[in-house]
Amino acid sequence: LLQRKQFVQHRFMKPVSFSELLDQYITDVRRTKGHQTAQNYHSRLGHVERFACQPGNSKRWPTVNAIDREFIVHLKGQLQHTTTTPNGHAHSIAKPMSQRQIYNVMSSLGTMLRWALRPDVRRLPAHWVNPLIRELIGAKPTKDPLRKLALNDEQLLMLIQHCDAWQLTHLALS
């Protein structure tokens, strides 16, 4: 039996800006994973897009191919000084971005860059090295199990008195 040779199509890859790549990625996520997931990624990666489109940054890193370790370090530094409102409510009090949300933003960026490197997507050249490594993302933050509760002792006692046995055994720890 003779096998037919499969030829890989080699196409010229024009450098892509961060905004173009983000639009293509969000379109793909919406198609494959759904509208809500696409919205989550878009809100997280919006912080990265604003950083990448700042005048000084857009000159230093004009395309996604130009992203390097310095881009990631500067981005993480800016995210640590970014203020956001809880759940995106416009009239809420703005607070510094939580470490958990910074982790989510960096992780979403890493996911997008890995998607762009996939052979079936090919938005970045195969020789491009993803600078977003675990060392730069950091560890996934966890909540302190010994943190102060929002309820005081009297409120907890009242809550416990109104619970039945099933509620106490299944819901008390949470």
The residue that leads in pLDDT, 19 or 172, is 19
pLDDT at 7: 57
The whole-model pTM stands at 0.76
Q: What is the average pLDDT across 106-130?
A: 92
* Radius of gyration for the alpha carbons in the chain, expressed in angstroms and rounded: 22
Backbone angles phi, psi at 83, to 5 degrees: -105, 140
How far apart are the C-alpha atoms of 42 and 38, rounded to whole Å?
Answer: 6
| Residue 19 clears pLDDT 70, i.e. is over it | yes
Neighbours of 165 (CB within 10 A): 7
Calculate the average pLDDT of the chain.
87
The residue that leads in pLDDT, 126 or 173, is 126
How far apart are the C-alpha atoms of 159 and 172, rounded to whole Å?
Answer: 10
Strand-pair partners of 95:
84
| Residue 11 clears pLDDT 60, i.e. is over it | no
Q: What is the average pLDDT across 39-55?
A: 95
Strand 95-96 to 83-84 pairing: antiparallel
Q: Residue 5: pLDDT band by 50, 70, 90 thresholds?
A: low
Please give the structure tokens belonging to residue 10.
């080699």
| Residue 10 clears pLDDT 60, i.e. is over it | no
**Residues composing the chain:** 174
pLDDT at 172: 65
